[in-house]
Amino acid sequence: MKFNKKANLIKLIHVAKTKLGLDDDIYRDILKSTTGKDSSKLLTPAQLDAVLDRLKQLGFEVESKDKTGVKNLADDKQSKLIRHLWLQLHEAGAVKNGSEQALAKFVENRVHVSALQFLSSKNADMIINHLRSWCKRLGIERLIIEA
């Protein structure tokens, strides 16, 4: 049985968008920053794979139907913004490792908390402001959203 890889990737990307709670502006910014295009229908399968990889970096996990264990990533607006800024810095080459583990280490070094889900609002704001300032110094100002 033949399947349409592009259609399946688009469906999976839209599931990720919903599960991550991304609004349309953030979603389109992710598409644009990853591929240069702002619609999944315009993307090649390779570009769709790249978008899916980016969404996985933001915390999306593809689940098989029989999977029971799910990784607990913080999914509040502040944490999503922190991840987004971190990945923008990674794309710009300012951050060598864009992984969740590297981000957790960065956060731990700044506010002595081991993961995003343990951040207070005050500490999350400090991290967001630090990352935004870093982005601004590098001329990365693609997305301005309030946490």
Residue 32 CA, distance from chain mean position: 13
pLDDT level of residue 2 (50, 70, 90 thresholds): very low
Please give the Cα distance from 11 to 50 (Å, whole number).
14
Q: What integer pLDDT is reported at residue 103 of this predicted model?
A: 93
pTM for this prediction: 0.51
Choose among 72, 135, 143, 139: nearest CA to 104.
Answer: 72
| Side-chain-facing half-sphere of 103: CA atoms under 13 Å | 29
Please give the Cα distance from 84 to 64 (Å, whole number).
26
Q: Where are the domains of the chain?
A: 1-71, 72-147
pLDDT level of residue 64 (50, 70, 90 thresholds): low
What are the structure tokens assigned to 110, written together?
């700044």
pLDDT in tens, 85-96: 999 999 889 999
Q: What integer pLDDT is reported at residue 117 of this predicted model?
A: 84
SS (HEC) of 69-117: CCCCCCCCHHHHHHHHHHHHHHHCCCCCCCCHHHHHHHHHHHHCCCCHH
DSSP state of 21: T
